[in-house]
Amino acid sequence: MTMITQAATLEDAANALPTQRGPFFPRKKKRIAGRSIAILVFLTICALFFCVPLYVVVVTSFKTMDQIREGAIFSLPHVWTLEAWDHAWNKACSGINCNGLKVGFWNSVLILFPSLILSIALSIVTGYALALWNVRWANAFLFLLFICAFVPFQVIMYPLIRITASIGIYGTLWGIAAVHAVLAMPVLTLIFRNYYKDIPQEIIRAAIIDSGSFWRIFIEIILPMSGNILIVVLILQITSIWNDYLIGVTFGGLGTQPMTVILANLITVSTGVVAYNDNMAAALLTAIPPLVIYFLVGKFFVQGITAGAIKG
Amino acid sequence: MPRVSFEHIVKSFGSLTILNDLNLAVDDGDFLVLLGPSGCGKTTLLNLLAGLLEVSDGRIMIGERDVTDLDPKDRGLAMVFQSYALYPTKTVYGNLKFGLAASRLDRQEVEQRIATAAKLLQIEPLLNRKPGQLSGGQRQRVAIGRALVKQADVILFDEPLSNLDAKLRTEMRLEIKKLHDTLKPTIVYVTHDQIEAMTMATRIAVMDGGVIQQFGTPD
């Protein structure tokens, strides 16, 4: 009886004073200690390190050349103008072609899709085979891939040029796509293989008894389980293909240069006035597409990284 | 005429020999329980029969066929796993259907087999759910259903009840026994639970250290 009344009183108290909930386990109010102030200061400096240049780039791109000549790089534009953006996109010159960055943008898009499809298709199947099927010399092959992941591109650049030239794809979109696929394969294969290693062995065993077909199991069972890791790889690949300069400048012909290469050409022009506003706008235009991808699928990206387990 | 027979089976992993010259025959329609402590080689034996592992030496016969070198899908077996091994992205219906992936049946036959199995196991209302939305007992039923749709002569069970709670385990024990009585398949059932062995089996093989110590009826 006493228990019940006690409980009732407690409940009443809680109801009566909703703002003072949980007085039975009082907790100390957290205070910001000296150590965390130091961390905050450090983090702020780190953030400024990235934000200040970004701020300068953004405001400069909206200024007129007249204002830029005044030399106050931190000041806001007197007149906000999109002239530089328009000029960079439509009229800026790369070499003798003055069609602006948009040429490079479309080239980059055209490079992106075949590169993405080739590189992911190649490595997802390899990773699947290595993780879930008995492949002879699988460990030796994995070790080889691991080594390949550490070979700098510059070392194999010249042989790759010869190889792509001899099969006739040098200087074309397909040449760039093939090189992207080959170079991304070691790391992507390891990523897929490690992800698939976590799939319970009994599921693949059941599938082997049920179907036994390599491709059917891949398409019907494994691929639908790969959503998370595909998002991760997709973001990694989109960013690295879009931001790539060296492969594009080496393997791209005159008509197939990606946005980054055109951007570099715009900015390294050595005659006339340096149009800072144009350059800044061009740089921002080039950086925007990967950012958009991050905003669209960033949420899944975090999920994909943290979701290790595939529980039934 | 034995349905399944192991003849002079040797299985070793590197220098470690798990099974050495093992002989065992299971008659048609028998419910054979392989009983023994962990690491005695009973699951290895089951995997050899399923074709998930390759024998180092010896011969495995199913009926009159030598299946020693056949792929798992060609052996005409069904298997129920300890963790159920349901395909997480497929519905219950999809799981049952994939059980028939290797067989070339027409649509109607597939539908009919799935309907029969679902009815027998009382999982008809669950057909459109994903495995993640099922309880342990229901998943177990689906796993058994996936084996039943194949209408295989031989069904293998690898400790299928060890993930269930005690009450459900008793229920499923009876259910599997009942299925065996109605459909009369040959069953090879691996467990380390003596009660399961005594209540379900028509034949028990007690294994220890890769050797069959005793072979006989539960009585």
Q: What is this model's ipTM? A: 0.89
Interface residue A219 vs chain B (CB under 8 A): no
Q: Which of B205, B45, B5, B74 is nearest to A209 (CA)?
A: B74
Residue of A95, A26, A136, A143 whose CA lies nearest to A261: A95
Q: Could you tell me the two tokens for A79?
A: 């007149």
Task: Say if residue A8's pLDDT is above 70.
Answer: no
Contact A206 B79 (CB under 8 A): yes
- Exposed / middle / buried, residue B5 (Cβ in 10 Å: 0-12, 13-18, 19+): middle
Q: What is the CB neighbour count within 10 angstroms for residue B157? A: 26
B88 touches chain A (CB under 8 A): yes
Determine the pLDDT at residue B219: 75
Computed from CA positions of residues A166, A172, A178, A184, in that sequence, does the dihedral angle turn out positive or negative?
Answer: positive
* Boundaries of domain holding B132: 86-151
For B194-217, write each residue's pLDDT tens digit.
888 888 889 999 988 888 888 888
Is the minimum CB–CB distance between B83 and chain A shorter than 8 Å? yes
A292: tokens are 């958009």
Q: Which pair of tokens denotes residue B69?
A: 């070198």
* Tokens coding A246: 């060296």
Alpha-carbon dihedral of residues A81, A83, A88, A90, nearest 10 degrees?
A: 140
Residue B133 falls inside a structural domain = yes
User: With 70 as the cut, is the pLDDT of residue A308 above it?
Assistant: no
Interval B175-201: pLDDT, tens: 889 889 888 889 999 998 888 888 888
Burial (Cβ within 10 Å: 0-12, 13-18, ≥19) of residue A72: exposed
**Is residue B203 within 8 Å of residue B30, measured between CB atoms?**
yes
Contact A145/B at CB under 8 A: no
Q: Are A212 and B73 a contacting pair at CB < 8 A?
A: yes
Residues B104/B150, Cβ–Cβ less than 8 Å: no
DSSP B58-95: EEEEETTEE-TTS-GGGG-EEEE-TT----TTS-HHHH
In angstroms, what separates the C-alpha of B219 from chain A's closest C-alpha?
34
Question: Using a CB-CB distance cutoff of 8 angstroms, which residues of chain B are in contact with residue A224?
Answer: 89-90
Q: Give contacts of A210 with chain B, Cβ < 8 Å.
A: 73, 98-102, 146
Q: Quickly state the pLDDT bin for A305 (edges 50, 70, 90).
A: low
Per-residue pLDDT reduced to its tens digit, A61-107: 998 888 888 888 888 888 888 888 888 888 887 777 778 888 889 99
Residue B105 lies in a domain: yes
Tell me the C-alpha distance between B62 and A23, whole Å. 72
Rounded to an integer, what distance in angstroms lies between the CA atom of residue A158 and that of residue B72? 47
Q: Is A311 on the interface with B (CB under 8 A)?
A: yes
- Compute the nearest-CA separation of A135 from chain B (Å): 14
Tell me if residue A73 falls in helix, strand or coil. Answer: coil
Give the one of B74, B84, B98 whose C-beta lies nearest to A220's C-beta: B98
pLDDT at res. A193: 92
CB distance B85–A202 less than 8 Å? Answer: yes
Half-sphere exposure of residue A255: CA atoms within 13 angstroms, side-chain side: 3
Contact list in B for residue A225 (CB cut-off 8 A) is: 88-89
List the one residue out of B94, B144, B148 whose CA is nearest residue B116: B148
Pairwise CA distance, residues A239 & A168, whole Å: 27
- Which pLDDT belongs to residue A304? 64
Instruction: Quote the pLDDT of residue A10.
Output: 47
Decide: helix, strand or coil at residue A127: helix
pTM for this predicted structure:
0.81
Helices (H), B92-149: 92-98, 107-120, 136-148
In a domain, B2, yes or no: no
User: Which pLDDT band, with edges at 50, 70 and 90, does A271 fall under?
Assistant: low
Any domain includes B197: no
Given A213, A216, A312, which is nearest B131 (Cβ)? A312
DSSP state of A254: G
Regions of chain B where pLDDT drops below 50: none
Query: Average model confidence (pLDDT) for chain A?
Result: 83
3-state secondary structure of A166: helix
The confidence score (pLDDT) of residue A312 equals: 38
SS3 B153: coil
pLDDT confidence of residue A119: 93
Sign of CA pseudo-dihedral A84, A87, A89, A94: negative
The pLDDT score that the predictor gives to residue A130 is 92
Q: Go through the domains of chain A in sequence order and give each one's CATH number.
A: 34-81 (no CATH), 104-259+283-309 (1.10.3720.10)
pLDDT for the residue numbered A98: 79
> Do the Cβ atoms of B72 and A209 come within 8 Å?
yes
- pLDDT at position B196 is 86
Residue B150: name the closest of A211, A217, A204 by CA: A211
Residue A220 has pLDDT above 70, yes or no: yes
Question: Which residue has better confidence, A304 or A149?
Answer: A149
With a CB-CB cutoff of 8 Å, which residues 38-77 of chain B face chain A?
50-52, 71-74, 77
Q: Is residue B25 part of a domain?
A: no
Q: Are A112 and A174 in contact (CB under 8 A)?
A: no
| CA–centroid distance for A280 within its chain | 22
Reading phi first (left if > 0) and then psi (alpha if -120 to 50, else beta), residue B131 is in alpha
- Are B87 and A221 a contacting pair at CB < 8 A? yes
pLDDT of residue A13: 47
The residue with greater pLDDT, A172 or A9, is A172
Domain count within chain B: 1
Domain-located, residue B106: yes
- The pLDDT value recorded for residue A219 is 92
Percent of chain A with pLDDT over 70: 86
Q: Yes or no: say if B137 and B164 are a contact pair by the CB < 8 Å rule.
A: yes
Q: And the tokens for A236?
A: 């990694």
A218 contacts: CB under 8 Å, gap ≥ 6: A125, A128
* Contact present, A243 and A23 (Cβ < 8 Å): no
Number of neighbours of residue A181 by Cβ within 10 angstroms:
22
Whether A227 shows a pLDDT value over 70: the answer reads yes
Dihedral angle, C-alpha B155, B156, B162, B164, nearest 10 °: -20
- Per-residue pLDDT at A18 exceeds 60: no
The residues near A8 (Cβ < 8 Å, ≥ 6 apart) are: none
Query: Which residue pairs from A306-311 have beta carbons closer than 8 angstroms and sit at least 24 positions apart in sequence?
Result: A307/A228, A308/A198, A309/A198, A310/A198, A310/A199, A310/A200, A310/A225, A310/B88, A311/B88, A311/B132
Reduced to 3 states (helix: H, G, I; strand: E, B; else coil), residue B190 is: strand
> Quick count: other Cβ atoms within 10 Å of Cβ B79?
31
